Chains A and B, each alone.
Chain A
Amino acid sequence: MTDDTNLQGIPAPEGDVDLIETEYDIGQDNIEGAVGPFGFDIHNPVFLISGLSIVAFVVYALLAPTQAADFFGWLRPALTSSFDWFFLLSANVFVIFCLALIVLPVGKVRLGGADATPDYSYAGWFAMLFAAGMGIGLMFFGVLEPAYYFATPWGDAPLGTIRPFAEDGTLIEANVQEARQMALAATSYHWALHPWAIYAVVALALALFTYNKGLPLTIRSAFYPLLGERVWGWWGHIIDTLAVFATLFGLATSLGFGAQQANAGLNYVYGIPQSITVQVILIVAITAVALISVLRGLDGGVKVLSEINMVMAFALLIFVLFAAGAATILSEFGEGIVGYFREVVPLSNPFGREDTGYMQGWTAFYWAWWISWSPFVGMFIARVSRGRTVREFVTCVLIIPSLVCVLWMAVFGGAAINDMIANPETSAVKANVIDTYSPELSLFAMLESLPMASITSTLGIILVIVFFVTSSDSGSLVIDTITAGGKIDAPVPQRVFWCTFEGLVAIALLIGGGLASLQAMVISTGLPFTVVLLLLCYAIWRGLKAEPT
């Protein structure tokens, strides 16, 4: 600890927050220097270990593709089927914990101290929350999931609901309403309270320990109540390295798959051939735009792009709503919400279930996926959330995005389901989701059933691409901050490095194979992180109780 006259150190705690007194000075383990004209200010050893281990894993996946595919191809389903109960129960704990924070007196603690004011307007804040964490999923699963649950012929219907189509493909009118309501409820279960509670726990832990306790903005800071000063040593290095690892591989593998999906869309709409070359061009283009975004900064790039994307997504939502019949869709939205509240308890109960195909293949997989993304999304949410009270924060991260997601699923899924009901013989959605499984085409198949399909499909492809950009740029900022030991103002070349590195890893895996293996590995990190998140709930509770009220 340094005294007040030395302006380089962290000073003694003061003011109306419960600052944690630590011997650690931000940046004390950093190395500053330059390679040629490029400056750096990196955390030793987190930067090097994460960078080198990422390269090592890429090389492993490229050199031993079959072995890697076999191992990780076995590992992920093995984890989600053995630990399904653990994922489901933990996610329930996160939801209950967050709901409790809204109603308990600790909810009035303000992030950043009693007098802090919010940095961002609600609009900018929501745009960034969505664009970083979920936008791309809405594009990919908005049609796929409700349509799939509605009519899956593979026996993995949620809670074993009755089927709306007979063996020969004819519609059974009497079963339609129940199947549709369950499809929307089961989709909403995956996109509403539970995933956002996972993000909220991580984001709140980071925001609290950064803004109120004065610790650096890295994942390890949230562990201070549990590990004490040891977070600045190897325990902390491991935690931060794991977070970098999950974030970079999560982004790179999604980028690889995203390029394949965008290519499939371009092929479906414009007949552009599906090839590695087109996909590499897409990755380069996405990375280039993400690079421009990070070079324009958080306010001038990331936020602007997120807002543009939200406007486009909203326009598409409104279009589908009216083109598919607003009255019907809105009544289905109401039906979906009622169904959600009716089914959320049976869906989230892990015991005595017979629908293991749904519970393990979808729910446990989703929970592992959200949890493996939570260090990245949580840290990004934390970065833009100073000045909100805990109650406001949890309400806004939990309730409002949940409503938007349920609405989105009701509109896109409802339109797709209605098309399947109206035209069971000719529906493109049914052909691409139920009769053959081409998930990447589900959105475009649904849009085809509505007017102006070529315009809306193009908008859909642009949205898919731009949502990737907004994940990629915010992810690069997060990784840059973690590997700079929590410094926000690390030199520009560092964020350029991470953004480019992510694109290169995606290209290497796309060409050499291994995207699926490494994505399976990332999702596998969901299991240890679940334990971590449970501990974070305790850390948050301890931290909030210590705040002056």
Chain B
Amino acid sequence: MFRHIMVPVDLGHADRLDRALGVAADLARHYGARVTYVGVTVPQPSTVAHNPEEFAEKLARFAAAETEVRGVVDAGSHPIVSHDPTIDLDGRLASAADELGADLIVMGSHIPRRFELRSHGGHLAALSHHSVMLVRDPA
């Protein structure tokens, strides 16, 4: 059914993504799909990393940890550098799915870091050609 699942993650709030990450791992096992963890960063230092290179390393470590903890067999990571993620985040995620050839996007709905004017998940679903599964965190 699905061969490649893309999972957008916010490394600054990875602890709050547990449910979405669990669902993604279960689906990957069920369909034997590859999982790519995608993170968006800025060229400037952020709460997560000093620079994009360091961000890429952290994302790769995150993907490796997911493999170990949740037993995802085929996991990879894909960092995206955005000049203005406040605005481009959803668009960059949608094009990343195309580039990666992902056929399913699983993400935490409304990554609960702030109350934005619009929900990232909803907007991404509108922009993307692929199936998008939004997982609402019970908290």
**Which A positions have Cβ atoms within 8 angstroms of B?**
4, 7-8, 10-11, 13-15, 17, 19, 25-27, 32, 34, 37-41, 112-113, 115-116, 119, 210-211, 214-217, 295-301, 383-384, 386, 477, 486-493, 495
Contacts and interface: CB of A to CB of B under 8 A. Distances in A.
Contacts of B12: 7-8
B45 A210 contact: yes
Given A298-B84, A491-B115, 9 more contacts: A7-B12, A8-B12, A8-B47, A8-B48, A10-B49, A119-B83, A216-B44, A217-B45, A477-B84
In the complex, the 8 A-B pairs of residues with the closest C-beta atoms, listed nearest first: A297-B87, A214-B50, A298-B84, A39-B115, A34-B115, A297-B84, A39-B114, A488-B42
Contacts of B51: 15, 17, 112-113, 116, 211, 214
Contacts of A490: 86
Given A8-B12, A299-B84, A27 B43 contact: no
Contacts of A299: 83-84, 88
Nearest to A15: B53
User: How big is chain B's contact interface, by range?
Assistant: 20 to 34
A488 B47 contact: no
Contacts of A13: 50
A493 B53 CA distance: 30
Chain A at the B interface: mostly helix, strand, loop or mixed?
loop
B49 A11 contact: yes
A32 B88 contact: no
B137 interface: no
Interface of B: 11-14, 42-51, 53-54, 58, 61-62, 81, 83-89, 113-117
Select the residue from A14, A15, A19, A489 with max chain B CB neighbours within 10 A. A489
A221 to B, nearest CB: 9
B43 A386 contact: yes
Contacts of A488: 42, 44, 46, 84-86
Interface centre among B44, B51, B85 (most CB of A within 10 A): B44
Given A4-B61, A15-B51, A119 B114 contact: no
Nearest to B89: A489
B117 A37 contact: yes
A505 to B, nearest CB: 23
A8 B49 CA distance: 9
A17 B49 CA distance: 14
A383 B82 CA distance: 12
Contacts of B81: 119
Given A7-B14, A217-B44, A487-B46, A492 B84 contact: no
Contacts of A37: 115, 117
Contacts of A32: 113-114
A536 B86 CA distance: 30
A291 to B, nearest CB: 12
A13 B14 CA distance: 22
Given A13-B50, A112-B51, A488-B46, A296 B87 contact: yes
B67 to A, nearest CB: 15
Nearest to A111: B43
Contacts of A14: 54
A13 B88 CA distance: 29
Contacts of A40: 114
Contact of B47 (A25, A215, A384): A25
Contact of A7 (B48, B84, B114, B117): B48
Nearest to B65: A5
Contacts of A489: 42, 46, 85-86, 89
Given A11-B58, A112-B51, A383-B44, A491 B116 contact: yes
B58 A7 contact: yes
A481 to B, nearest CB: 8
